[in-house]
A and B are shown apart, each in its own frame.
Chain A
């Protein structure tokens, strides 16, 4: 009940802040451009998901961290009211993560509708890409919250760790795995590599997209292993299951940090 009150006021505040509208507009422009130049086929959806895989984790995580730092005095004020910490945590997280998700869905969804991609591409592919984008937003806002709470008094550290983990997970991960495979090429590595890719939500989402669109050339090493090991049906369910675990983990950790924190 009190969570709903917090959500309502935060959404109002965010929409007035206008950057969330800008965030949706960026997706709108990008999607529109990709469809214009790449056609309405599955290729367009693939380009959209490539941008999404890089962009969403960064924005969500940085905003998660910054949002907590910005709300510091306000959190103090609210905690001085008869309001339990659990409701406040839910309100703060939902207050940011849900609008971010909505901005992504609207920004990408609108051009898909008016350009007719929604009709020409099969609905499941579109749903998977949009669903993954939403899930990544929720996951990385949560991770941003964990960094923000863990380094509540040290903003440089909080932001630094977020940026480094983004770089690691979004950019360097596949390269590092390839390096591992290269150096230890004489050993049976399929299972360890499989396990390692479960540790990275961005990689999981990427594998899901590629399995769905069946583009093995772009899969990278982990995707190829995944596809061969699981076949695409089972592989996709395992990857999706792990992504949901990834959603729970930062929220659980963040909530625990929030309950124990000294403000």
Chain B
């Protein structure tokens, strides 16, 4: 479980996160939605320790974040844009992160098979297409069997076949009791995958609760219309 209390962050004059209070439930998939620039990625980066909070506390599975890095061994992260050292080969990158994490046993092979990366393994990362780079990012996020999986716009560059496989993988991991945190602009994806929804506008939480409740509340049967309605209300 991830608990966020009174989280505040400003970049210069611009307040990006304003007194955020959130509980991200364990063993479920939580979708974070919101307009561009609403603070979704910044919030995720706080949980990862990439960005330091001005105020507030974050607790990840009982560990309060205070600059230490060990808690991140429980987290797998797939960034929005994946770029790696140009001349490193895919297999070397995977080995590198394994060494950094100090983990030998991984589900690397299954993931490579799932994403059909076998032929890319010995190519330098700079020659990979955007979609294949995303798949490498996904492999890195899942291969260490982490308790928490954070995915920032994961399917943006994937072809339909990989996207379907990827979503199936997420459902399987969820069934295994993993906590999944996901941002995307594709509402159907959230509908398919998420149990819990967080709606952010200008750094404030507008909705935080089960998906089903939101639909009832807004009297819509499609998530897209419910979210669109909330965005209009917020504007």
Chain A residues within 8 Å of B, Cβ to Cβ? 2, 5-6, 9-10, 12-13, 16-17, 71-74, 76-85, 260, 262-263
Interface membership of chain B positions 189-230, coded 1 if the CB is closer than 8 angstroms to chain A and 0 otherwise: 000000000000000000000000000000000000000000
Contacts A9-B85, A9-B88 known; 15 new A-B pairs at CB < 8 A: A5-B99, A9-B96, A13-B86, A13-B87, A13-B88, A71-B85, A73-B82, A73-B84, A77-B84, A77-B140, A80-B48, A80-B72, A82-B71, A83-B100, A262-B11
Q: How far is the CA of A74 from the CA of B100 in the complex (A)?
A: 13
Q: Which residue of B lies closest to A16 (CB)?
A: B87
Closest chain A residue, CB of each to CB of B44: A80
Q: Which residues of B lie under 8 Å from residue A74 when comparing CB positions?
A: 83-85
Among the listed stretches B22-30, B32-40, B49-57, B179-187, which one makes contact with chain A, having 4 or more residues with CB under 8 Å of it?
B49-57
Shortest C-beta distance, A257 to chain B (Å), equals 13
C-alpha gap A77/B71 in the complex (Å)? 15
A77 contacts across to B, CB distance below 8 A: 77, 79, 82, 84, 140
**In the complex, which of the residues A10, A13, A73, A79 contacts B49, with contact meaning CB atoms closer than 8 Å?**
A79
- The answer to the question of B120 belonging to the interface, with a C-beta cut-off of 8 Å to chain A, is no
Does B79 contact A76, Cβ atoms closer than 8 Å?
Answer: yes
Residues of A with C-beta under 8 A to B140: 77
- B100 and A73 contacting across the interface, CB-CB below 8 Å: no
Residue contact A83 to B51, C-beta cutoff 8 Å: no
- In the complex, residue of chain B having the shortest beta-carbon distance to the beta carbon of A153: B11
Cβ < 8 Å to A, chain B residues 39-94? 45, 48-52, 68-73, 75, 77, 79, 81-88, 92
Nearest-CB residue, chain B, relative to A73: B83
A170 to B100, CA, bound (A): 40
Check if B97 is an interface residue, CB within 8 A of chain A: yes
* B101 close to A (CB within 8 Å): yes
Known contacts A17-B86, A71-B85; is A263 also within 8 Å of B100 by CB?
Answer: no
Q: Are the CB atoms of B72 and A263 closer together than 8 Å?
A: no
CB distance from A147 to the nearest CB of B (A): 20
Choose among A6, A16, A76 the residue that contacts B50 (Cβ–Cβ < 8 A). A76
Task: Give complex CA distance A5, B49 in Å.
Answer: 21
Most buried by B among A16, A76, A80: A80
Q: With a CB–CB cut-off of 8 A, which chain B residues contact A17? A: 86-87
Which residues of chain A come closer than 8 Å to B72, judged between CB atoms?
80-83
Expressed in whole angstroms, the Cα–Cα distance for A204 and B71 within the complex equals 46
Complexed CA–CA distance, A12 and B88 (Å)? 8
Do residues A82 and B70 form an inter-chain contact, with CB atoms below 8 A? yes
Q: Are A81 and B101 in contact (CB under 8 A)?
A: yes
Measured between alpha carbons, how far is A97 from B26 in the docked complex, in Å? 44
B79 A82 Cβ-Cβ under 8 A: no
Known: A12-B88, A73-B79, A84-B68. A263 touches B73 (CB 8 A): no
Chain B residue numbers with a CB within 8 Å of A71 are: 85
Residues of B within 8 A of A76 (CB): 50, 79
Among all A-B residue pairs, the 7 with the closest Cβ atoms: A16-B87, A73-B83, A80-B77, A82-B73, A262-B51, A82-B72, A263-B50
The chain B residue sitting closest to A260, CB to CB, is B52
What's the nearest-Cβ distance from chain B to residue A23, in Å? 16
Nearest-CB distance from A188 to chain B (Å)? 47
> Considering the chains assembled together, what is the distance between the CA atoms of A10 and B68 in angstroms?
24
Contact of A2 among B51, B70, B77, B100 (CB under 8 A): B100
How many Å from the CB of A12 to the closest CB on chain B?
7
Some 17 contacts from A to B, beta carbons below 8 A apart, are A5-B100, A6-B100, A9-B85, A13-B85, A13-B88, A73-B81, A73-B82, A73-B84, A77-B82, A77-B84, A79-B48, A79-B50, A80-B48, A80-B77, A80-B79, A82-B100, A262-B11
Residues of chain B within 8 A of A9, CB atoms compared: 85, 88, 92, 96
The answer to whether A263 touches B92, judged by C-beta atoms less than 8 angstroms apart, is no
For A16, list chain B residues within 8 Å (CB): 87, 124
Q: Is A81 in contact with B100, judged by CB distance below 8 angstroms?
A: yes
Query: Do the beta carbons of A81 and B97 come within 8 Å of each other?
Result: yes
Shortest Cβ distance from B133 into chain A, in angstroms? 10
The answer to whether A263 touches B68, judged by C-beta atoms less than 8 angstroms apart, is: no
B87 to nearest A CB, angstroms? 4
B70 close to A263 (CB less than 8 A): no
A5 and B68 form a contact (CB under 8 A): no
